[in-house]
Amino acid sequence: MQIGVEFSRSVENKRIFVVEDDEITRSVLQFMLHDENETHELASLEKAYEKGIEWKPDLILLGVGIVAARGVAVLKEIAGRYPQVKILITAETDADPLAIECIKSGAKGIVAKPLTIEKVRYKVDVALGRIRGPMIPLNVLQPIAKA
């Protein structure tokens, strides 16, 4: 089933690895993203590295639990294997201190719960460079002229 899929994205073939130790979160993210991306759910970085030998990812959604177990240095480890890859951190909240530390160490953003199709796809699209972040319309910045 395809939910709100833009045709150009469904044929673009961006590869995403969802590397998350929580099986439910991993499955939900894979379901939300598989219509527009080649999405693989993996329980560990070792499995991601194994799969990435032939099929290099464009984006990794990395669970904050994996970062907690391996340390923030894991971001440099991933970048060493996949220099072009973008990383988003999945966490309970946008305010998670470890997720924020990951942003300071090179991650492109945080995907926080509650997970919604719109929010997850938007953050993925921004990280992949498909769209830019929110913009402020010019008319908001300028006073409206009175006639």
For the chain, the farthest-separated pair of C-alpha atoms sits apart, in whole angstroms, at 67
Is 7-132 assigned to CATH 3.40.50.300?
Answer: no
pLDDT tens digits along 62-114:
999 999 999 999 999 999 999 999 999 999 999 999 999 999 999 999 999 99
Computed from CA positions of residues 111, 128, 12, 20, in that sequence, does the dihedral angle turn out positive or negative? negative
pLDDT tens digits along 16-59:
999 999 999 999 999 999 999 999 999 999 999 999 999 999 99
Q: Can you list the pairs that 116-119 forms with residues at least 24 positions away whose Cβ atoms lie under 8 Å? A: 117/3, 117/4, 117/32
Domain ranges of the chain: 7-132
Q: What is the pTM of this model?
A: 0.82
Identify the band that residue 140 occupies on the pLDDT scale cut at 50, 70 and 90: very low
